Amino acid sequence: LYINYSYILKNFIGKNGITKNDLTKLKEKGIEAIRNLKKKKKELGFIQLPSKIREAKKILEFAQKNKSKYNNFILIGIGGSALGNKALFEALCHPFHNLLPKEKRNGTPRFFILDNVDPDVIEKFLETVSIKRSIINVISKSGTTTETIANFFIVLKKLVNKVGDPYYKGHLIITTDPKKGFLRDVVKKEKIVSFKIPENVGGRFSVLSPVGLVSSAFVGIDIIKLLKGASYMRKLCENEDIEKNPALLFALINYIFMKKRNILVMFSYSQKMSSFVDWFLQLWAESLGKNGFGTTPVKAIGTIDQHSQLQLYMDGPDDKLFCFVSVDKFESEIEIPPFGFDYLNNKKLLELLKAEEKATRTALKERGKPSITIHIPEITPYHIGEFIFMLEYATAIMGELLKINAFDQPGVERGKTLTKALMGEEKLKEERQKFLKEIKKYEESPYKV
């Protein structure tokens, strides 16, 4: 994996670009950030995750023993307890995995995620998918995530009705904090299979922990190679030379451009990487959007968004930095039959995809719009491990550069408190009364058209 940063340089894009000297000037800041992260290594558990091969082997062993027993793997989680799982599944499994017969899935279950509390979706899901033939992985670091617990209770009721007590326990896996929280208490009381999320690993940095590894192992992803790729990238990320450290380069480029460009567009020219863009959006926004800092990450997928967003990017406000995600080698090429359109005759679909990627990047460059490209050699567990760790470490470096804590999310807490108050949590009675007045005021407002 490498980053091509030619199209942020003045000698390529003109006045909107920077010079290599601008990057060099930040060398000391970058080195300080990396040294600070090294000092905090023990408290930043995500840095240790690539070394947890022994734990990954236990997960693999458990999955191999159990995956053929079930037709469905249902994950109940939200945010960092779902986005990475979806990204790994979509990148590394057959794009129509759930439509294949079991033998063509190598005996692995179909994979579903319940990550929202939309009642229409949950009800229709439970009407459609056989709970009796499912294994259910409930994931919450705190063990008290409101949406996850609500969905868990709904699914649990149906599961107990279908298979009975105590047999329902064999259909459950709980991934949560090793010591505390409601879900940990459930594990202890009911003797349910459990995997531990390290105390020093936050949700959005947890995809290489049991959070992401359990579901990946069940659907046949090589989680050992995934960790080995991350481990290789970790060595590069601790290098103090910008030219040898893609995470440092990524962070410094964003740090320089954020003063005038507060939007970061991640433009993936691989549909299989689409959900990794969603995963990155949470990682970047929730880690760095603090104290008035932060850039807004935006998702774009090539070629689809050439026909929706590109007009804005070409002729709209000049406030964006672009990050292309390019896969060098695809599994398929597919020849286009010669039924007309001479420029398409006997060309490959892959040639068209690559031509459109190059054309979009060049068109933006001609307008002086800065872009970098992350090149992934091929979509394999190893290279995806590199990709994940590089972006996690770059986010942590960015936190150091901005002098903010990239590992908390204080802005999210107020909404959680108000939700619990409105739902009737006993200790929030007073808050509830105030909130109900505010809701009434809003609902009775005359400002409606």
Burial of 13 (0-12, 13-18, 19+ CB in 10 A): buried
Report whether 318 contacts 372 (CB < 8 A): no
Given the residues 67, 90, 141, 286, select the one marked as catalytic.
286
Q: In terms of residues, how long is the chain?
A: 449
| Residue type for position 413 | E
Q: Is there a catalytic annotation at residue 132?
A: no
> Tokens 């299989």 label which residue?
272
As a whole number of angstroms, the distance between CA 27 and CA 249 comes to 10
Q: Which residue has the tokens 């932060």?
A: 294
Residue 319 token pair:
């406030």
Backbone torsions φ then ψ of 408, nearest 5 degrees: -120, 180
From the candidates 307, 403, 427, 441, which is the catalytic residue?
A: 307
Q: What is the DSSP letter of 344?
A: T
- Is residue 171 part of the annotated active site? The answer reads no
Cβ neighbours for 7, distance < 8 A, ≥ 6 positions apart: 13, 17, 361, 364, 365, 370, 371, 372, 373
Whether 307 is catalytic: yes
**Tokens in use for 67?**
């995956």
Active centre residues (catalytic): 286, 307, 416
